[in-house]
Amino acid sequence: MADNKIIRSVCYFTDNPSEEITAKLADITKILEDKGYLIQTKRMCSAGHDIDPLVGKADYLSIGTITLEDALERLPKFYETNNLNFNIELANEKIDTKYTDLLFKIIQEKPDKTFSFTFVFNNAPSSPFFPSGSYEKNGFSVGLQPTDLSENCTTLEEWFSAMKSCWDEIAETFKDNPEFLGIDSSIAPLLGGKGSLVNFVKRLGITFDHSVTTDTYTKITKFIKENNPKLVGLSGMMLPCLEDDELAQEYEEGNFSIERNIFLSLHSGLGIDTYPIAVDEKPERVVEILTLLQALSNKYKKPLSARFVSDGKTKVGEKSDYQNQYLADVVLRSL
């Protein structure tokens, strides 16, 4: 299991980005590395919307939740700061094409940055996963890549035990640190093989298509919510269409439509994530989807989000070319 103890993100939330916070991040990651964890990224999320104090202080940066007006004003800085993220909260907004105009503007002007922003609904603060991460108070949180812990597991229970062992170890390690906000126990798949949630589901002996109408995913999300010793952030099941290689294959085969994504998100997931959008997609269709997510999020008091990604050139029926090591290229379908 030691090789699979992977922390996707250690994120420090601060209202005052400084070298001191950078040093704290380094200290936290060193403690975790000494426990045998591989740290993928160190991140920082600020309460302030002044970007400059953040630059150079972490692998990934976020200015958290901002308004549409803020986003439009800050686009030039967003474009030039390649590791900068933000989100826009839509739970209580009237959703119309002014929001999709922002999405399509980024698609036209700097498509690779569609990876770095998302629309959120009733977002949970202090998640170390970007671009959903948002500031509530000072401190740090930790998010793992727990799919890797499923390697060699033949049952859900074996995987659950491996996850619980890591959560308990991390919680114990930082129990006396007043700045430790907690662990976001979200299932965060990445790439293929042991990093793929779909790969694990297949190893359980069922196809992805079949698994959708079983209680597999509700069991997973019940466990990660109820057994995390210091719960924070989203702590749900991520369904990143293009970051999980085998989920991307299911998308290409027609098994991960937007409807199925929303269905799974409603009972277990966190929304639409790294979902491919064609440059010739109708903005009105995106408005309809965002409006539905808003209604479902408000009805069930459940955090949801929508992150559509584009390469800026691919139309429906063509194969994408994201040139992003974390995104699988697929033949695009209409929403």
Q: What is the pLDDT of residues 126-173, one digit of tens each?
A: 999 999 999 999 999 999 999 999 999 999 999 999 999 999 999 999
Dihedral of CA atoms 54, 118, 271, 111 in degrees, nearest 10, equals: -120
The tokens for 326 are: 């974390």
Phi–psi pair at 223, nearest 5 degrees: -65, -45
Domain spans, the chain: 2-241
| 2 — pLDDT class (breaks 50, 70, 90) | low
Residue 69, Cβ neighbours under 10 Å: how many?
A: 9
Average pLDDT estimate for 38-55: 88
- 3-state class of 105 per DSSP? helix
pLDDT confidence of residue 57: 87
Q: Which helix (H) or strand (E) holds 103?
A: helix 97-109
Token pair belonging to 329: 């290229």
How many whole angstroms separate alpha carbon 187 and alpha carbon 171?
A: 18
Token couple for 238? 């991520």
d(C-alpha 207, C-alpha 63), whole Å: 39
Mean pLDDT calculated for residue range 222-238: 96
Secondary structure E strands in the chain: 6-14, 38-46, 60-65, 84-89, 117-121, 139-144, 180-184, 271-276, 304-309
- Which pLDDT band holds residue 1 (cuts at 50, 70, 90)? very low
- In this predicted structure, the answer to whether residue 183 has a pLDDT above a threshold of 50 is yes
CB atoms within 10 A of CB 164: 17
Taking CB atoms within 8 Å and a gap of at least 24, the contacts of 35-41 are 35/5, 35/169, 35/170, 35/173, 36/2, 36/5, 37/5, 37/6, 37/7, 38/5, 38/6, 38/7, 39/7, 39/10, 40/6, 40/7, 40/8, 40/9, 40/145, 41/8, 41/9, 41/10
pLDDT average, residue stretch 172-185: 98
Cα 252 to Cα 286: distance, rounded to the nearest angstrom: 20
Is the predicted pLDDT of residue 233 greater than 70, yes or no? yes
- Using the predicted structure, report yes or no on whether residue 335 has a pLDDT greater than 70: yes
Residue 47: the pLDDT is: 82
Give which of 131, 327, 147 is closest to 248, Cα–Cα: 327
What is the phi/psi pair of residue 145, to 5°? -110, 75
User: What is the arithmetic mean of pLDDT over 231-238?
Assistant: 96
pLDDT (mean) for 250-257 = 97
First CA to last CA across the chain, in angstroms? 39
